[in-house]
Amino acid sequence: MTFFDTYNKYKDFDFDSFIKNIKLNDFNISLNKEYKNIFDFLTLIAADIDDTMLENIAKFSYESTIKNFGKTISLYSPLYLANHCINNCVYCGFKASNKIQRKKLNLNDLQKEAIEIKNLGIKHILILTGESRKDTPVEYILECLNIIKPYFSSISVEIYPLESDEYKLLIENGIDGLTIYQETYHQGNYANLHSGPKKDFLYRLETPDRAASAHIRTIGVGSLLGLYNVYYDVFFTALHADYLMRTYPEIEISVSFPRIRPEVGGYNPYTIIDDKLFVRFIIAMRLFLPKVGILLSTRESASFRDNMIGLGVTKFSAGSKTEVGGYTLDDEDKTERQFDISDERSVSEIASVIYKKGYQPIYTDWAP
Ligand code: SF4
């Protein structure tokens, strides 16, 4: 049994009718329930409410965040190993059809990048590649782990989906976390947006189950908001996280639902998500899954991220570079960015704002 079985129970649910028929009383009942189910969550994100009611969700979310995470924000940085990709996701700057410089870090340059990031104070790192087994095989990832392991206490991967025994091998060699975005949970829309090996919806959907069976420590799932109906994608992101938390209670689960940003080649999103709705997704997620980690990346602006401290969010990326060689290479040797960053502040600037808000930036909560 995998998440696909749970997914199948809900995939044809009539979201439009449900949302159209939400009454104010339903909203109040859902908000005040101690344990909320997935339809309470849908009610909280989709009911037609005024600003006072939104403030009520925010107040509950604030209290739940403090209760479960204290006044802390964890920090991590991404490190792009390569941008080779054999897929053609229509919304991504690294897609195979984009004529951009392709690069894979050699081990010397990788070490420089790792040292630079470590010197920023960062202990948790997310290593990324495009999706190309040929250009960045598991053997290359293992070589990279061997180089960067001494500098970080936690290493997560965001690479092409692997088999369970491959995750086991990476775990034995130093990773402890997996991040994998389903992008959109709508199977038909997913098929339209993707080509290449990534077109296999089910293989991607079951990736967290395969990593869990290899006993990984943390898993992050999410969707890229703007690719499809946002209520549908946020609902399934929440459902996926809930399934993982129930099925693998020993694994730390987090979610992220970044809003789509401009990239090389230009993609017009299916929908634009305004700040108010985006905030509502985050604060409602905190109420539905009080113990789930919620990430907010540097795709969001500095002021937006600052205002979200205390409102459900538990992890910030910081000092991020989304190009290969972004931390240390000369401009002519760096690649294009995968996507534009809004919050360009340094790690220390972000940490200082967190302190000013009365919170503690957390550089490491885990050591092997
Ligand atoms: S989203 Fe990932 S798989 Fe898709 S084109 Fe970009 S790098 Fe490749």
How high is the pLDDT of residue 367? 83
What is the extent of the structural domain holding 50? 3-362
How high is the pLDDT of residue 6? 98
Of ligand 1's atoms, which has the minimum distance to the CA of residue 86?
Answer: 8
Ligand 1 center–CA 100 separation, angstroms: 13
How high is the pLDDT of residue 262? 63
Cβ–ligand 1 distance for 94 under 6 Å, the answer yes
Tell me, yes or no, whether 307 lies in a domain.
yes
How high is the pLDDT of residue 335? 79
Domain count, the chain: 1
Positive or negative torsion for Cα 42, 293, 78, 145: negative
Cβ–ligand 1 distance for 214 under 6 Å, the answer no
Tell me, yes or no, whether 111 lies in a domain.
yes
Tell me, yes or no, whether 367 lies in a domain.
no
Ligand 1 center–CA 68 separation, angstroms: 34
Amino acid at 333: D
Amino acid at 348: S
Tell me, yes or no, whether 140 lies in a domain.
yes
How high is the pLDDT of residue 180? 98
Could you tell me the CATH number of the domain that includes residue 42?
A: 3.20.20.70
Tell me, yes or no, whether 368 lies in a domain.
no
DSSP state of 357: T
| Residue nearest atom 5 in ligand 1 by C-alpha distance | 95
Tell me, yes or no, whether 222 lies in a domain.
yes
CA–CA gap between residue 57 and residue 69 (Å, rounded): 18
pLDDT less than 50: residues of the chain: none
Beta strands (DSSP E) in 66-151 are 72-80, 124-128
pLDDT single digits (tens) 246-255: 999 999 999 9
Q: Are 167 and 216 in contact (CB under 8 A)?
A: yes
pLDDT single digits (tens) 259-276: 987 665 678 888 889 999
Which residues on neighbouring strands pair with residue 154, listed in sequence order?
A: 124
How high is the pLDDT of residue 231? 97
Ligand 1 center–CA 178 separation, angstroms: 16
pTM: 0.96
Ligand 1 center–CA 89 separation, angstroms: 6
3-state secondary structure of 84: coil
Ligand 1 center–CA 180 separation, angstroms: 11
Tell me, yes or no, whether 97 lies in a domain.
yes
Burial of 217 (0-12, 13-18, 19+ CB in 10 A): middle
Angle at 109 between CA 104 and CA 110, to 5 degrees: 75
